[in-house]
Chains A and B, each alone.
Chain A
Amino acid sequence: MNPSRLFRLCRKELRETLRDRRTIITLLFMPLLVYPLLSMALHRFLLGSGKPAETPYKIGVATKAEADLLDRWINSPLAMPPEEVLEASGEAIAQFDILLTEPSDPVRALEAGAVDVAAAVDNSDPGVPPDVTFTIFRGDAAGRSARRILVERFQWFKLSRAQILASDRRGRTRGLDDPYRPPMTVAAAEIGEEEPTSMLGTVIPLVLVLMTITGAVYPAIDLTAGERERGTMEALMASPVPRSAVLTAKYLAVVTVAMLTAVANLVAMFTTLWAGRLLPLLTGDDAGFPWLAVLQILGLLVLFSGFFSAVLLSLTSFAKSFKEAQAYLIPIMLLSLAPAMLSLMPGIELKGPLAIAPLLNIVLLTRDVLSGQIDAVATAAAIGSTIAYAAAAIAIAAKLFGSDAVARTSGQTIGSLFRRPVRSRAFPTLQMATMVVALLVPFYFVVSNGLMRFLENAGDSLGLEARLSLNAVALILAFGMIPLVSAWFNRVDLGTSFRVHRPSATSIVGSVLLGLGAWVFAHEVFVLADAAGIRGLTEEKTKQVLKVLEAWKDVSPVLLLATLAVTPAVIEELCFRGFLFSAMRRALSPAKTILITSVLFGAFHVLTGNALLLERFLPSTLLGLILGWVAYRTGSVIPGMVLHFVHNGLLELAAKYKDSLTFLGEGLDTQGHLPVTWLITGGTVAAFGAAAIWFAGRPGSDQATNPAVLPNLPVKT
């Protein structure tokens, strides 16, 4: 579907939902209602940080002597603030209860929360003034407030004593040379975990979850279950637009409303806080308006809105009425708060399986982004998997939406999602492709991460052969099995959907030539990307890679080719230029199909285990474009496999035998640009290959995916 048409469909959904006063209430009135309440809560928090004067702070000390001494100092008239300070603070004088914590240590009592401050007075050396130490628990607002007042009191005390001493000296002539001795020294100490720098990282994820979910709920129900209630569903389903397109337009509308709601909420929130001078409380400093944080939050908002809109749409698409949809959504809203609450807990980090845990990952990501501690791999995994989950939810929604437009007779249940269709299909649908990609992201992340961890634990006990074989197995499990299971489950014909058609001999020759020549361009792109600073490998990792390449010299070339050339060539081609290609080709133009499959191909080469190999994106995408074009021209997945095999095999053998290839001259060993002669040779070979494929591919050679000549497959029961 072209973007302008999609825009028009989306505009209709937006008109419909934004003209409805129920949307407007959520969009505008909620912020007006919520933020004064939130502001009040924050005020309460702020006031709570300085206890009301009538509630005394508790100071724990170990001995009676210390308690007496402290009491004498703290409550001495000398320690009281001057009149003008008292007046300015509304005559409020903080009260202190000095508690003996014997036999336990005051710090223990502090840890147990029995006291606000633990105090210790070291009076052991009569030659020096007593040393007073006040210990508080990090992040405890009451303790911090109490200690501040205590330190101030001691300052007043010392100041008063110094003033008295000074006025005494004016009346006397003797003793003028006696040095001033402070009555005591005061030190501050802290225990407990590091205090979070700001509340922003803990409050915002919670607010984002609430905002986006609130914004998305009504339009999600209205645009799906609402179609049934209005009686417009049957006419909509009778129109010649794929459900996925209708759903995409609805999804974009729901995302827009969710984001508008969230933006309205953010504006209201920041305005309330700014006006109430509460911003520093949230941001943790007085650096002014947190523009960067606001921008980051807007970016994160897209993730949250995208995720929730998709999840809500998949649920409301199943509901037959407003009431039913609401019944589904209430538990979801409550459930969503649990991960949001988790972000408030220390010790939970965005890594490993949590990086791909739905919702929890973006909540943790928000916390990390706002506290400025981002891990690139975890961030990529969180964003990638969230996009995948949203895509999966939309695919489910598209399957459910309108499937019971004829509710009386179709008997649609949630179980039907897991039931295999009765009829066979020649090609996978776009929904199936979306679902495959959506499953691939988390599955591949888990498999490759698990593999990395296993290999790291195994250390040197596992030989390179075993490592290479395991890599190949992981590839087969992810990119081989998921499309295959999808094809089996959806009763899609394997031959047509994986595009396994017999190619012409010319196209094979062309693929070999293209494979022999194409690598020079891939290498150049790699070098250019590297020069542009796109690299994910650290020096240490590069050394590791070089070490592995060195070790390849001892590995059998057959195993090397089998694991790193044959397996990727067969499995990745079947997945990207087979299943995904044939699904997309049914709905999209050849150019778009080639582009999207290439970008996916490039993206999956970036995320491998625990490293983000960004420098692989451009060369892999370029290779994907070439492979996509070959697949389109030849109408088959096989020439692409040959090209892929030749390309990978050539590079691996070159790496293995690079010491024996010195006769080729300089160039192979460098990380820089290839010599011009190499480029010309590679370019010429590739051009011959491309020409062979161009002529081998008959016009309309991709007719296997042309809807007009779909074979009518038999019904399987």
Chain B
Amino acid sequence: MLVIDSLCKTFDLPAGKLCAVDDLSFQVHPGEVFGLLGPNGAGKTTTMRMVLGLLEPDSGFAEVEGARTADDPIAVKARLGFVSASDGVYPWLTVREMLLYFADLYGVPPAEAKTRCEELATLMDIQPLLDRRAGELSTGQRQRVTLVRGLIHDPPVMLLDEPTRGLDVVGVQTIFQYIQELRGMGKAVVVCTHRLDEAERLCDRFGLLHRGRLKHLGTLDELRGQTGRQTLVQIFVDLLEGN
């Protein structure tokens, strides 16, 4: 389970202070897919980075399965799977070598890592790619490899940052299937995206971020009740016009 409580982060920019995340709180339960939604610059990625311990929050905390990022970042990282659209690969390593390397980084024993690598490769249909150099893969293939990489240590919480960015229809479909699998595995999943139509199909619950603040939180039905609007796009348009 992921708990985010009163997270705040302000950046000192040459143009002045920018409040990227302002008093953000939400929880994601096992088997739940949570959509952290918002336009570009809403604070989604900053939130993820604070959860991962890559950025230090000014106040508040993130807690993964009982461990807080500020107190024990290593334990938190071990319980998180992280996949981002901007993730690259090591071009000179084979896919298998890269997956085993990340398994090692996450402390998976070598023998177990090999088995897990084969299982996930079958699940995500990347068996034929395992012994190819990562530098030779197409964008879609890389994306699948990256998704497997995020799961190599079987984390209870998954963070997906703009997972469909730059993918074609087939690629997006792969992500959808992947997220369904994650839900089936009982993982708590956070999907950060600005693609509201996709989110509507994918997620169980939503947090709508705008300029660092959480404007709405709940299931689609709850959001409809709160706003009187039918779709996430309409809700967002209202939000943007309101500001």
Q: Interface of A with B (CB < 8 Å)?
A: 5, 8-9, 12, 15-17, 19-20, 230-232, 234-242, 246, 405-406, 409-411, 422-423, 707-708, 710, 712, 715
Contacts and interface: CB of A to CB of B under 8 A. Distances in A.
B157 interface: no
B107 interface: yes
Nearest to A717: B58
B106 A235 contact: no
B87 A409 contact: no
A711 B62 CA distance: 16
B239 interface: no
Interface string B56-86: 1011000000001011111111101010101
29 contacts: A8-B101, A9-B101, A12-B90, A12-B101, A12-B104, A16-B90, A16-B92, A230-B89, A231-B86, A231-B87, A231-B88, A232-B89, A234-B54, A235-B82, A235-B87, A235-B102, A235-B146, A235-B149, A237-B52, A238-B54, A239-B77, A240-B74, A240-B77, A240-B107, A241-B74, A409-B11, A707-B74, A710-B71, A712-B71
Contacts of B183: none
Nearest to A230: B88
Given A234-B82, A246-B105, A410-B55, 10 more contacts: A12-B93, A20-B92, A230-B90, A231-B86, A231-B87, A232-B87, A234-B54, A241-B105, A409-B49, A715-B58
Interface of B: 11-12, 20, 46, 49, 52, 54-56, 58-59, 68, 70-78, 80, 82, 84, 86-93, 97, 101-102, 104-107, 110, 146, 149
Nearest to B46: A409
State the 5 A-B residue pairs at the shortest beta-carbon distance, nearest first: A231-B88, A240-B77, A240-B78, A239-B105, A19-B92
A5 B102 CA distance: 12
Contacts, number: 96
B12 A9 contact: no
A509 B11 CA distance: 54
A238 B107 contact: no
B105 A9 contact: yes
A235 B49 CA distance: 11
B93 A15 contact: yes
B93 A16 contact: yes
A311 B101 CA distance: 26
Given A405-B54, A409-B11, A707-B72, A238 B91 contact: no
Contact of A12 (B49, B55, B97, B149): B97
A171 to B, nearest CB: 89
Nearest to B12: A411
B42 to A, nearest CB: 14
A583 to B, nearest CB: 15
A615 B70 CA distance: 46
B114 to A, nearest CB: 13
Contacts of A423: 56, 70
B21 to A, nearest CB: 11
Contacts of B102: 235, 239
A242 B52 contact: no
Given A234-B54, A710-B72, A406 B49 contact: yes
